[in-house]
Amino acid sequence: MTIVEFDTIERLLRDEDLAGVTSVLSTMSVAEILAAMRRLRSNRQALLYRLLDKDVAMAVFERLAPAVQTELVAGLRDEELVSLVEDLDPDDRVLLFDELPAQVADRLLHGLSPQERRLTTPMLGYPQGSTGRRMSPEYVRVKPTMTVAETLDRVRRVGSDVETVYTLMVTDEVRHLVGVVALDDVVLASESTPIGEIYRETASVTAISNAEDAARLCADLRAIALPVVDSEQRLIGILSIDDALTILEDAESEDAARAGGAEPLRRPYLSTPIHRLVRARTVWLLVLAVSAMLTVGVLERFEATLGEAVVLALFIPLLTGIGGNTGSQAASTLTRALAVADVRPADIGRVVMREAQVGLTMGAVLGALGWCIATPIYGVDIGNIIALTLLSVCTIAAVVGGAMPLLAKTLRVDPAVFSTPFISTFCDATGLLIYFTIASAILGLGSGS
Amino acid sequence: MTIVEFDTIERLLRDEDLAGVTSVLSTMSVAEILAAMRRLRSNRQALLYRLLDKDVAMAVFERLAPAVQTELVAGLRDEELVSLVEDLDPDDRVLLFDELPAQVADRLLHGLSPQERRLTTPMLGYPQGSTGRRMSPEYVRVKPTMTVAETLDRVRRVGSDVETVYTLMVTDEVRHLVGVVALDDVVLASESTPIGEIYRETASVTAISNAEDAARLCADLRAIALPVVDSEQRLIGILSIDDALTILEDAESEDAARAGGAEPLRRPYLSTPIHRLVRARTVWLLVLAVSAMLTVGVLERFEATLGEAVVLALFIPLLTGIGGNTGSQAASTLTRALAVADVRPADIGRVVMREAQVGLTMGAVLGALGWCIATPIYGVDIGNIIALTLLSVCTIAAVVGGAMPLLAKTLRVDPAVFSTPFISTFCDATGLLIYFTIASAILGLGSGS
């Protein structure tokens, strides 16, 4: 979509020239319409959505954020809503139900055709965040004894109703997962070949596994579909790469937001109302402000020292800044390493050893540099204080920053939550304590109160 | 892979029990071997790699980071190297060539079979970071006039040599891209149907386009393969979802590293030598330390003010901390919004307006809170100073933090580079200037030197 096209749509919507909008929309692809929707305020999103052709509307709806879906749904007549929900894929339907008031979701569930209700109800039984809620119960299942010709027949018969035909699930008579067979291998084999000769073994996930971990596995294996099984290895669904990518994108948006100290926005930036932007950030900032009070407490303890040597105040932002940055460097490195499974929580010993070495080295470099800059201007005492403080602060910050994400993961808290802002505050308070302790010792001053 | 398996491998490698390692390896999947490789130091990685079966070694090699590949290559005999490079996919080969010394790459290029060299040479002509260097020149091409039966014949004939057969490229007689046809639509159609009736139009990218943008488009469209064309819309390759995901994962690792103020590691954390970890972080930290000197300069200007009212020093870390966090919240929100194309650089006006409102609101909330806490303890003057400073700092930090990523994108610099650390430092210096200016005015003190 060109910027011109979007500006045209926005102008036509503002002028309420609905015929004009409809004619522009008819020339746009689903991706272009989605891009336009992402940039509109919510009342205009609803207006635009109502102007879409039914099939296009369905394709657009499936790709919208659940928060936006809920708003659009609120504007639909009851029969429109029932038919929309009936047409959704079961996994998208479950996600929408999670957003809707329980009563509405319940009414919609009972309004479904028996076939669609049979697919949806079991998924609603799995816990939020589990693979079972995000899987697709519609897939092609074949037996090892079937031939290639029989398999292609089945694909042709059920192919248009399932999530994907590129990966077919191979099971035994009691639905136990045996493996998968790729459609290209089926097409390349001769018609009489039994599936038992061309299938391969596969990784699988259980329905109660964490959906994000399952999605990561699916993407890492570059699998078009990953089988989802119950506790007895019986096949109950598939996680497609499409859905895996959606799960990972949401997880990455969440990580990025939390690393910056905000809750993730549940809808595109430009269509998020200001008060929601504020709310996403204020809660975090209040938590941080309260913990920043710690730094006031630490400094208060050393107020007398500060009074005797005001020059010490000059270096406060520099030292806390470097400490905070060292800590967040380590935290973001380890958060990412955990996310891509390069490191596991059990590696904490190795990580602490490595970060201690990294922190010491960096502290030595920065300390030497600080000494050389500070000594000629402020004297050798201040030079020594700066150098020793940098050495200690860098080491502690790197170790704590590196260890925190692993501890968070062990405690089943989001590692990104422990990242930048939390570590900065921790390093600020600790850094100040170290700074003034060293300064008091070297300058021979009283330690305050 | 269980932790026990990895520990076994590490112990066997340490004991140089190569037969033992080989027997454990024979029970492991490629994904498990990759997971083990990621956790080993580089000399052991090379040892493990040499023990792999040839086919497995190839599959493992393709998925390793280019920096690790280069090290492994250094340990191979010449004829082993030539045969390895011959077996690589052209796009993986181009990536490896970029890492190797130019002489070695050149020698290897000339050692290729004429067919493979014909595929590789044009790709090397595209600029680094372009789609042309990451595309696959091996795909299935069909004409609109071909029937389904003819198409399936062609798939069976060339299917095992191409990147994917799930998306077939449809071109006219002069190789102009017409559209794509999905293998499932081919399989589901009757044998005599011409492709002209079942193909659909498609998005495409040019070979000189930015590879990351192309990968994002491929993933957004959930396309198994995106056609790559030259300036005259002639098909020259495809970007597969596999390769798109690799490009996006690398880009996300880079963003995550830079948001934390470090250069991305080019290999897994646990197998990165300590001195490389230090180097990835020190350069950034030095840049930040130098700019943190700014804060020393600002404070020096106000040293006299500080001497008259030491109590002002108590709030320095709190104010700079809140300013820095507000800035990095806005920066990370906008960096993410840019990455997922929710916002474009041209939206800077809207973004500044929104962030000014968000910053003012947050500043008002935090300022009111600060006033209520500070006034009873330190008096109404200090309360007013804190409240006014928080209001100004939050507004400026949100606006600057929000605008920076968009400016960076306009200047074609990585927006993540401008994120957290840069903004923190900027906000520290500006925040201090505002703080002492307000304090001097309210307390009626001299503004220092």
pLDDT digits (tens, 9 = 90+) for A234-256: 999 999 998 999 898 888 888 77
Kindly report the average pLDDT of chain A as a whole number.
86
**Which of B31, B164, B285 is nearest residue A322 as measured by Cβ atoms?**
B285
Minimal CA separation from A333 to chain B, in Å: 6
- Burial (0-12, 13-18, 19+ Cβ within 10 Å), A331: buried
Tens of pLDDT, residue by residue over B314-369, are 999 889 888 888 888 888 888 888 877 788 888 899 999 999 999 999 999 999 99
Two structure tokens written together for A359: 């922190």
* Cβ-based contacts of A299 with chain B (< 8 Å): 313-314, 316-317
Comparing C-alpha atoms, which of A339, A404, A401, A261 is closest to residue B419?
Answer: A261
Minimal CA separation from B272 to chain A, in Å: 10
The number of beta carbons lying within 10 Å of the beta carbon of residue A208 is 13
Query: Can you state the percent helix, strand and coil of chain A, rounding each to 5?
Result: 70, 10, 20
**β-pair partners for B206:** B229
Q: How confident is the model at residue A448 (pLDDT cuts 50, 70, 90)?
A: very low
Tens of pLDDT, residue by residue over B130-173, are 999 889 888 999 999 999 999 999 988 887 788 888 999 999 98
With a CB cutoff of 8 Å and minimum separation 6, the contacts of B337 are A268, A269, A270, B343
Q: What is the DSSP letter of B265?
A: P
Which pLDDT score, from 0 to 100, does residue A205 have? 93
CB pairs under 8 A between A and B: 319
Q: How confident is the model at residue B274 (pLDDT cuts 50, 70, 90)?
A: confident
Q: What are phi and psi of A439, to 5 degrees?
A: -60, -45
Closest chain A residue to the Cα of B189, Cα to Cα: A156
- A307 pLDDT higher than 70: yes
* Cβ-based contacts of A425 with chain B (< 8 Å): 321
Q: How confident is the model at residue B1 (pLDDT cuts 50, 70, 90)?
A: very low
- B438 pLDDT higher than 80: yes
Would you list the domain boundaries of chain A? Answer: 3-129, 141-258, 273-443
Tens of pLDDT, residue by residue over A114-158, are 888 888 888 888 888 899 998 988 899 999 999 999 999 999 888
Tens of pLDDT, residue by residue over B56-107, are 888 888 888 878 888 888 878 878 888 888 888 888 888 888 888 888 888 8
Which pLDDT score, from 0 to 100, does residue B447 have? 46
Closest chain B residue to the Cα of A332, Cα to Cα: B260
In this structure, CATH architecture of domain A3-129 = Alpha Horseshoe (1.25)
Element (H, E) at A169: strand A167-171
* Cβ-based contacts of A310 with chain B (< 8 Å): 303, 306-307, 310, 313
Closest chain B residue to the Cα of A327, Cα to Cα: B260
Rounded Cα distance, B212 and B248, in Å = 7
CA angle B259, B264, B266 (to 5 degrees): 165
Cα separation values, B319 from A14, A90, B11, B322, Å = 42, 50, 52, 5
Comparing C-alpha atoms, which of A384, A399, A381, A388 is closest to residue A363?
Answer: A388
Residues B261, A328: C-beta atoms closer than 8 Å: yes
In the three-class reduction of DSSP (H, G, I as helix; E, B as strand; rest coil), residue B238 is classed as: strand
Rounded Cα distance, B385 and A210, in Å = 49
Asked whether B171 and B178 are in contact (CB, 8 A), the reply is yes
Which pLDDT score, from 0 to 100, does residue A77 have? 81
- A368 pLDDT higher than 50: yes
Which pLDDT score, from 0 to 100, does residue A420 have? 65
Comparing C-alpha atoms, which of B68, B64, B115, B67 is closest to residue B87?
Answer: B115
Which pLDDT score, from 0 to 100, does residue A4 have? 56
In the three-class reduction of DSSP (H, G, I as helix; E, B as strand; rest coil), residue A33 is classed as: helix
Residues A269, B310: C-beta atoms closer than 8 Å: no
**β-pair partners for A234:** A176
ipTM: 0.76
* Cβ-based contacts of A350 with chain B (< 8 Å): 270
**Fold (topology level) of A141-258:** CBS-domain (3.10.580)
Rounded Cα distance, A292 and A426, in Å = 9
Tens of pLDDT, residue by residue over A87-120, are 888 888 888 888 888 888 888 888 888 888 888 8
- E strands along A125-166, which residues? 141-142
- Map tokens 């001497």 to a residue: B307
* Cβ-based contacts of B365 with chain A (< 8 Å): 278, 282, 286
With a CB cutoff of 8 Å and minimum separation 6, the contacts of B85 are B93, B96, B108, B111, B112
Minimal CA separation from A72 to chain B, in Å: 19
Task: Let me know if the fold of A3-129 is the same as that of A273-443.
Answer: no
Q: What is the CATH number of domain B141-256?
A: 3.10.580.10
Cα separation values, A414 from A322, A406, A418, B176, B262, Å = 25, 10, 7, 49, 21
Residues A361, B241: C-beta atoms closer than 8 Å: no
In the three-class reduction of DSSP (H, G, I as helix; E, B as strand; rest coil), residue A75 is classed as: coil
Minimal CA separation from A323 to chain B, in Å: 10
Tens of pLDDT, residue by residue over A325-364, are 888 888 888 888 887 778 888 889 999 999 999 999 999 9
**Which of A165, A221, A285 is nearest residue B366 as measured by Cβ atoms?**
A285
- A418 pLDDT higher than 70: no
Tens of pLDDT, residue by residue over A3-24, are 556 778 888 888 888 888 888 8
Which pLDDT score, from 0 to 100, does residue B64 have? 85
Is the domain defined by B273-443 classed in CATH 1.10.150.50? Answer: no
Which pLDDT score, from 0 to 100, does residue B416 have? 66
Rounded Cα distance, B14 and B10, in Å = 6
Rounded Cα distance, B446 and B449, in Å = 8
Q: Which of A2, A138, A154, A269 to mutate to test the interface with B (most CBs of B within 10 A)?
A: A269
Rounded Cα distance, B397 and B422, in Å = 12
Rounded Cα distance, A125 and A142, in Å = 27
- A210 pLDDT higher than 60: yes
Pick the residue with more confidence: A227 or A50? A227
Cβ density class A163-191: b for 16+ within 10 Å, e for less = bbbbbbbbbeeeeebbbbbbbbbbbbbee
Task: Report the DSSP pairing between strands A235-240 and A177-182.
Answer: unpaired
**Which of B219, B277, B428 is nearest residue A321 as measured by Cβ atoms?**
B428
Asked whether B144 and B199 are in contact (CB, 8 A), the reply is yes
Cα separation values, A124 from A97, A98, A109, A132, A242, Å = 9, 9, 10, 8, 20
Minimal CA separation from A102 to chain B, in Å: 31
Q: Which of A318, A355, A417 to mutate to test the interface with B (most CBs of B within 10 A)?
A: A318
**Which residue type, as a one-letter code, is found at position B444?**
G
Rounded Cα distance, B168 and B153, in Å = 13
Which pLDDT score, from 0 to 100, does residue B280 have? 83
**Which of A219, A257, A335 is nearest residue B333 as measured by Cβ atoms?**
A257
Pick the residue with more confidence: B217 or B80? B217
Q: What is the DSSP letter of B215?
A: H
